[in-house]
Structures are given as structure tokens and as C-alpha cells.
Amino acid sequence: MLSSFKRFRHRFIRIILISNLFSQIGIWVRNFAILLYVMDKTEGNALYVSLVSVAEYAPMFIFSFIGGVFADRWKPRKTLVWCDFLSAASVGIVWLALLSGLWEAVLLTTLISSVLSQFSQPAGMKWFKIHVPDELAQPAMSLLQTLFAVFMVLGPVLGTGVYQTFGIQAAIGMTGISFLMSAAVLLFLPPDSPGSGQEAAASLSVIRDMKAGIRYVAGRKTLLLLSLCFLLVGLGVGLISPLSVFVVTEKLALPASDLKWLSIPYGLGEIVGGIVTFAVASRIAPSRLLVLGLLVNAAGMILTGLSGMLWLAMLAQLVIALLQPAIFIGNQTLVMQHTEAEYIGRVTGIRTPLMTGAMLLMMGLAGVLKNMFPLEWIYGFAGLCLAAGCLAVLPLLRIHGDAGGTEEAV
């Protein structure tokens, strides 16, 4: 563990982590404050509540690939700073709208910020590719994942607490300040080099850039297999995401309020798994991390569906969460290792809607399938989806140069 922390004398990685700390505070306060506020204003109207999720997830389909194209064209540092600044500015406009009584404007905060994130996320990946040495990429990704895991547990508490204590205007104001702080921290990153943006690409059409990105992914075995893998992961995760409460009420014969006993070990596992993965990340190849995470998560899903005792279901959730960081870190590291900097945005933009789209498709079908098949069959099928994803990436264990470098076109 100490040797892993010594690697983070890299000043610019620390800046990225601090920036993400502020942005995560803003995101979680915004998400939960707006959700609770909309529920209060509409007395739990399902249509308005669902619009909160639509505002958050719809931009992933509409703007993810487009954002990736422009992230490849634009300079990454400038893109990151401007996205955070514009998010803060949009929050300020919404705050003024709230003062005038237009409460529906809160949905714009989530929508605009989600759109901007489709540009900032691939820009962040591009910045990592340019500035972070290969030997630091995987430990850096593991530390970021640990930060995200901590907020998965603490974020809902923070957002709920701010809204219930200070109200929606204070929560919106805190969100804007958090994004401004994130942008201010990013200003300490090194200036973009002249070659970090594709100025010459301005003469090319966006459609032409999109086609080039698709050909790039299709022509590289590693990226193609990773995309197939995460399509399958999206199918499996999306299928069981709405069904956890039925594990509690049907398999365990407990009241729905006892769902928290599955959430607690899951949240704890996310944090511990992130820390452990960070400690060993520099000593395990990313493809092995990915395969191990997929296998354990597949087994954990099947065990959850079969479990008839609370302690066994809690253990399954703990095991799943412990290895989920390995999936994220192994995947992100492989993408960075096998993608050239000028294509990193488009590669990210292609893969994001694949997994998210698969998840939302199966979320929509989960209720129908629940009425047709036993719960253990559904969880078993979800586990098989992840096992199939594991089979898809097994060839990566044999690809020469797994430790780094850019893969040649196939």
C-alpha cells in the first residue's frame, strides 16, 4: 500500500483527484436534492420523478459519441475547465429561476450538467493518456474508483442532509460552488500543448470523424472485445438492478424495508474493494483484473438469486462489490493502453452508450421477465451474461504487450 501511495508524487494526478472530489460533491448534492425537491413539489408524481432520471441518462445516448468526437478535436485541459465552469454557470441561472418561482427549472441543472459531462469525461481520458505515465495509469484509475465508491455510500447521505437542513436553494448554490472549485483546481494543470488538439480536424466533418472512430474500434481486437464485453455486462447488470427488493421480499421472506441489509455490505465492499485494488493495481495486469472481476461478479449474481438466507445474500453482495472496482479499473486501463490519444474521445463515446443502452433496455424488460420466470433464473441469466463477457475478453490474456503500448490494427 505504501509503495502505491509513493507513486502519487505525480502532482497532476493529485490535481485531477482533488478536482473530482469537488465535482462528486456537486453531483451528489445536486442529484439527491433535486430528486427530493421534485418529490415534495409534486407529491411524488411518478412522471416528474422519472424526468429526473431522463435528464441524467438521456444525454448519454444523444451526446456521448458527439462529445467524444469534439473531445478529440479540442484541447483536453481547456475542455475540462470550460465544462465545469459552464456547469456552474447553468446552476447559477437555475438558482435565479428558483427565486422567481420556476421550480421546474431544477431539471435543467441535471440536464445541462449531464450533457457537459459527455464532453468532459472523454477529455479527461485524453488528458490522462497524454500526461500520465503508463506505469501510473492503473493505480491512478484505482484511486479514482475508490473516490467514486466512497461517494456511492456517502453521497446520498450528503445530498439528503444538505436538502433537508438548508433547502433547495442552498443545495443548488453548493452545487455551483463545487463545480467552480473543480474548475479552479483544474487551472493548475499544465497548459495544453499545441498538438493536444486536432486543429486541422476543423476542416473535416463531424460525420467523417465519427466514421473514423468506428473504424478505429472495429479494427483493433482489444477495443472490439472490450466493447462486446461491456455490452454483455450492461445486459446482466440492467436485468437485476430493479429486482433487488424482490430478493428481500420473495427469496428471504422479509419486509421491503430490509433492503438496507443488502445495501450496507454492497457499499462497504465498494470502498474496501477500491482500496485493495489500488494497493495491488501496479502488480496485476489489467486484463487479469478485468477477468477476475467479471468471474467473481458472475458467481455473486448467481449466488444472490439462489440464496434463501439473509447472511448468504449479504455475503454475495459483499463479494460482488469487492471485485467491481477491478472491472472498472481493468477496463479503463486497457482502453488507455490500447488507444492513441487522438482517438480516445471517440472510443469512450462509442462504448458508453453501448453499456448504458443495454442496461436501460434490460431494466425495461426486468418487470416483464420477473412475471414469466423464477427470480433465481433471472439472476442466473444475469450471471451468465457476465460470464459470457469474461469469455469475450479471455483472448486479451494472451495478447502480447498487455503491460502497455498501443495495439496494432487487425
What is residue 7's predicted lDDT score, i.e. its pLDDT? 55
- Angle subtended at Cα 295 by Cα 289 and Cα 301, rounded to the nearest 5 degrees: 130
Dist CA 382 CA 20 (whole Å):
32
**Residue 277 above 50 pLDDT?**
yes
Q: Lowest-confidence range among 6-15, 91-100, 105-114?
A: 6-15
- Between 122 and 47, the more confident residue is 122
Confidence of residue 402 (pLDDT cuts 50, 70, 90): very low
Report yes or no on whether pTM surpasses 0.75. yes
Give pLDDT tens digits for 280-300.
777 888 899 999 999 999 999
**Higher confidence at residue 349 or residue 137?**
349
What's residue 176's pLDDT?
Answer: 92
**Is pLDDT above 80 for 172?**
yes
Q: What is the CA radius of gyration of the chain?
A: 21
For the record, the C-alpha cell of 271 comes out as: 470502498
CB 6 within 8 A of CB 278: no
- The answer to whether the CB of 224 falls within 8 A of the CB of 218 is yes
Flag whether pLDDT at 405 surpasses 80. no
Listed ranges 54-58, 111-115, 195-199, 383-387; the one with the highest mean pLDDT: 383-387
Q: Would you give the DSSP letter of residue 285?
A: -
- Which amino acid, residue 26? G
Q: How confident is the model at residue 385 (pLDDT cuts 50, 70, 90)?
A: very high
24-69 pLDDT per residue, tens: 999 999 888 888 888 888 876 767 776 777 777 778 778 888 888 8
H helices present in 187-240, as ranges: 206-218, 221-240
CB 212 within 8 A of CB 376: no
Residue 392 pLDDT > 60: yes
